[in-house]
Structure 1
Amino acid sequence: MHLSLLSDLNAERAARRAAVLVTDVASGEQRLVREAEVDGDPMAGELQDALRRGKSGLIEREGRQFFLTVQAPPVRVVVIGAVHISQALAPMAKGLDLDVTIIDPRTAFATPERFPDVALLAEWPDAALPDIGVDRYTAIVALTHDPKIDDPALIAALRSECFYIGALGSRKTHERRVQRLTEAGFAQADLARIHAPIGLDIGAVSPAEIAVSILAEIVANLRKERRRLA
């Protein structure tokens, strides 16, 4: 690989943008296709498929073979609230190769003892999220049940391209949440992005069961386009 291609690939990785390195197997020629360039590429269909699947592989096109090396950012789950559900969710998410960050300004809850080996920020979401960056490879999970903490995170999520937004609470709680966010200027189509009550309906009761339902819903949304291709 030419150093210029490697440098460009590293720049895309640092910026959490996906890219595909296309290698002509016969000639060895290589080119980098950035995610924003995929739709206009002559191999758009194949590149889109590779990005959706998140897997590198060999393809054949017009009698020629190409190897597509897919580089996609690691999927990140940002959890608002250092609560019991978060304690159960964090290790499960790691088992799914998801990067987890916990945000909670309440220092009595956001402690390393309660969340060992987890990225933990004892800050307000509206202060922490801009530094983290919320992109299309990010899921936002609001669990504090406190509008002062959850709402700023939901506002940041709704203004982003994150692929999943979920919020804990009953339907009545969500109705009040919707009213607040509507008053903040969000349209019904925006608010429909929020999964609430959060998680798949599996009859979950315990914090661990609720964590399972949340992660199942996140994975279902993450893989939605892949299921459409099947």
Structure 2
Amino acid sequence: MDTRTDSRTERFDRAPETALDWHRAGKGAALATVIETWGSAPRRVGSQLAISGDAEIEGSVSGGCVEGAVIVEALEAMEEGTARELEFGVSDADAFAVGLACGGTIRVLVEPVGDVLPDDMLSALVAARAERRPVAYVVDLDTGSRRLDDSGHADRFRMDRSGFEPDSRTFVAIHNPPLRLVVVGAVHIAQALVPMARIAGYDPVLIDPRETFGSDARFPGERILPDWPDEAVAQIGLDTRTALVLLTHDPKLDDPALVEALRSGCFYIGALGSTRTHAKRVSRLEEDGFTDDEIARIHGPIGLDIGAAGPAEIAVSILAEMTQVLRKGTA
């Protein structure tokens, strides 16, 4: 069991969930989505704002610059039961107020739930998000057709990038689960890596059955599982938005988690150890029946070769390699 319940909400925009709740409660709801940006727009493409018929809001499409206008348009769209495409120029002064150096332009799609965005489609989208299943919401702005797609758009899912398909009016909104980092081994490198990863948008989980290492005193406020690594990894679940980092340098702890990871779809597997240590690790996995391609998924020695010295620099190299694999698919 966890030594502490994680009180922090995952970095997960809940606009679709909130819109569905408002719709089911009879309040009326609309989803506003950033579909295109130019210049230094405050929010990235795919950002969403939920608006209720009572003008309640959840999420953001501009960091506060144009929310008021979007709310007005959304309320009118709900009354008419039609979608709206909006375009706003964000001034330099407004952009500066939300932490940007200069302004930009954004286009926003407003979709009333029920009349335009089918409630059963939104419900299926919310269910996929709850189950940590990546899903794309695809809308043709010319024909009005809408669908959910979980079998295509591999590059968009990997890069977490919503946007228009080339030379078309088909917009693809990517809904990826939040990033997670599972660290086996609550060692000194983990003390540097965990806060860095949290800043980068990951929700970290620490696994270490050794109470001296995996203590709240060493990792205040973090989620720590004091179970055997393979059991803890199975409990957490490893998916395409999860990175697994093995830092114990002990085969008794690392190998069981490695076996689970190689059978999963996690996007990154990294294992601490020298070239010689990794060669021994490869031999053990070959004896367990894993193929060369499967074993090649392991990044060992772990991290980009930046000449790192000391726990903090090693943590930087690990996070850099995780980012490279996440965004580019290679390391």
SS at match of 2:192: helix
The answer to whether 1:95 aligns with 2:177 is no
Q: How does 1:1-230 map to 2 (within 5 A)?
A: 1-26=117-142, 28-33=144-149, 35-36=150-151, 38=152, 47-59=153-165, 61=167, 65-225=169-329
Counterpart contact for 2:135–2:148, Cα < 8 Å: yes
Q: Which has the larger radius of gyration?
A: 2
CA distance, structure 1, for counterparts of residue 308 and residue 263 of structure 2:
30
SS at match of 1:185: coil
- Partners of 2:273 and 2:250 in 1: CA distance: 10
Name the aligned partner's letter for residue 55 of structure 1. R
Asked whether the equivalents of residues 159 and 328 of structure 2 are also in contact (C-alpha less than 8 Å), the reply is no
Which runs of 5 or more structure 2 residues have no equivalent in the other structure? 1-116
* d(CA) in 1 for partners of 2:273, 2:203: 24
Give, in whole Å, the separation in 2 of the partners of 1:13 and 1:88: 30
Q: Which secondary structure does the structure 2 equivalent of 1:223 belong to?
A: helix
Q: What is the CA RMSD across the aligned residues, in angstroms? A: 1.8
**AA at the equivalent of 1:166:** G
Amino acid aligned to 1:70: I
Q: Which amino acid aligns with 1:181?
A: L
* TM-fit CA distance, 1:49: 4.3
SS in 2 for 1:69: strand
| Structure 1 residues 167 and 48: alpha-carbon distance in aligned structure 2, compared to 1, 3 A threshold | closer
Structure-2 change in CA distance of 1:185 and 1:177 (3 Å):
same
Instruction: Between 17-26 and 101-110, report the one with greater CA deviation.
Output: 17-26
Aligned mates of 2:166, 2:303 — CA distance in 1 = 40
Unaligned runs of 5+ in 1: 39-46
Count, aligned residues: 214
- Report the 3-state secondary structure (helix = DSSP H, G, I; strand = E; otherwise coil) of the residue aligned with 2:213: coil
Give TM-score scaled by structure 1 length.
Answer: 0.86
TM-score for both structures, normalised by structure 2: 0.61
Distance in structure 2 (CA, Å) of the matches to 1:48 and 1:169: 32
**Deviation digits for residues 101-141 of structure 1 (CA, Å, limit 9, x no counterpart):** 11111111111221123221111111111111111221111
Judging changes above 3 Å, is the alpha-carbon distance between structure 1 residues 53 and 193 closer, same or farther for their aligned structure 2 residues? closer
Q: How many angstroms apart in 2 are the aligned matches of 1:216 and 1:138?
A: 15
CA drift at 1:192: 1.7
Preserved contact between residue 158 and residue 326 of structure 2 (Cα < 8 Å): no
User: Aligned partners of 1:51, 1:176: CA distance in 2, in Å?
Assistant: 34
Question: What is the alpha-carbon distance in structure 1 between the residues aligned to residue 323 and residue 287 of structure 2?
Answer: 31
CA offset at residue 69 of structure 1? 1.7
**SS of the counterpart of 2:238?**
coil
Alpha-carbon distance in structure 1 between the residues aligned to 2:159 and 2:275: 34
